[in-house]
Amino acid sequence: MKSSYLLFGPAVLAALLISCSGNGKQFSYTGQTDVDPITLSAQASGVIDSLTVREGDAVRKGEMLGRINTDRLLAQRKQQEAQLSELDVRRVSAQAQITQAEAQLSLARETLAKTERLLAQGGATRQQRDELSTQVQVDEANLAALQSNAQLVAAQEEELNAGMEVTDIAIRDAQIVSPITGVVLDKYHFEGELATVGTPLLELANLSVMTVEIYVPLSKLADVQLGGTATIRIEGTAKALKGTIYWVASQSEFTPKTILTQETRTTLVYGVKIRVPNPNGVLKIGMPVDVEL
């Protein structure tokens, strides 16, 4: 991905200028430094409350760069907390009713058992036994209904807790956090503007590692190996950096016509990308460099 900060167009970036050194074996290619920028987009919808960073500011991974308004989400969270408190009261009440119903059922069963023994001894009537048997059935049905109601309350609590987790995630997503340590390249929106999910807010890049793309002719491609080293020289200085080849095109292409002469118009070349550590910030985006393989 090419940054809008490039000083030259893609055709110049693709320029292949080959020159032999004095030993006749080392070849130099002209390339241009670039980065792979990251577009930081909104993960929540709302008015941007703050977005204080500016273009060129250095940022750290995990640093909060701004926030989208969360008033509606915070109100929703309070409503959910109130509903959870209400369900908690219902749960306690349901459990108390179950405890009472279990005791009542236990007493009814004991009374029925005693009555059946008395009936066998002639000390109770069949009608008494039948009435107590009916009472046990009623108490069992009542207990089952109370237990079912308690299960419903528990399910509602679980659903509400899940909803609160979703709200918490939405509140967290309203925070605009840098995913990398790098520099702000571009700022697309400002405080007070409305953002929706997916709205690009900032463009960031890690400048501690730069990339350089060159084009190598077929005759020199055998000398290019993944993981191989390359020497990067900055134009106008004696400064040299070491880079690593991490990508070689699998297909050839014609050298861009804007840099061709009639003699080289049909030359086939292969794109090669080099990753160059830039710990001291010597390399800048769009800087022309010479690459020696």
CATH number at residue 264: 2.40.30.170
Tell me 283's DSSP state: -
Give CA angle at 231 (227, 232), nearest 5°. 115
- Both 57 and 142 in one domain: the answer is no
- Both 127 and 187 in one domain: the answer is no
Residue 216 has a pLDDT of: 87
Residue 261 has a pLDDT of: 44
- Both 159 and 222 in one domain: the answer is no
Each of the 293 residues of the chain gets a pLDDT tens digit; together they read 444 333 333 333 334 344 444 444 556 888 889 998 999 999 999 999 999 899 999 999 999 999 999 999 999 999 999 999 999 999 999 999 999 999 999 999 999 999 989 988 888 889 999 999 999 999 999 999 999 999 999 999 999 999 999 999 999 999 999 999 999 999 999 999 999 999 999 999 999 999 999 888 888 888 888 988 999 988 777 778 999 999 988 877 765 544 444 445 446 788 899 999 988 888 888 888 889 88
The answer for residues whose C-beta is within 8 angstroms of residue 68's C-beta and 6 or more apart is 42, 44, 45, 46, 47, 48, 49, 174, 175, 176, 195
- Both 85 and 134 in one domain: the answer is yes
Q: Is residue 202 part of a domain?
A: no
Domain, as residue range, for 58 = 39-69+179-197
Residue whose entry in the numeric block shows the structure tokens 């340590």: 181
pTM: 0.67
Q: Is residue 154 part of a domain?
A: yes
- Cα 74 from chain centroid? 22
- Both 161 and 75 in one domain: the answer is yes
- Both 165 and 89 in one domain: the answer is yes
- Print burial letters for 151-163: b (CB count within 10 Å at least 16), e (below 16): eebeebbeebeee
Q: Which of 197, 232, 266 is the last residue of a domain?
A: 197
- Both 76 and 13 in one domain: the answer is no
- Both 222 and 255 in one domain: the answer is yes
SS3 195: strand
- Both 49 and 92 in one domain: the answer is no
**What residues are paired with 248 via a beta bridge?**
272
The Cβ of residue 241 has, within 10 Å, a number of other Cβ atoms equal to 20
Following CA atoms 126, 128, 133, 137 in sequence, which dihedral angle do they give, to the nearest 10 degrees?
A: 140
- Both 18 and 3 in one domain: the answer is yes
Q: Is residue 151 part of a domain?
A: yes
Q: Is 94 exposed, middle or buried (0-12, 13-18, 19+ CB in 10 A)?
A: buried
State the total domains in the chain. Answer: 3
- Both 87 and 122 in one domain: the answer is yes
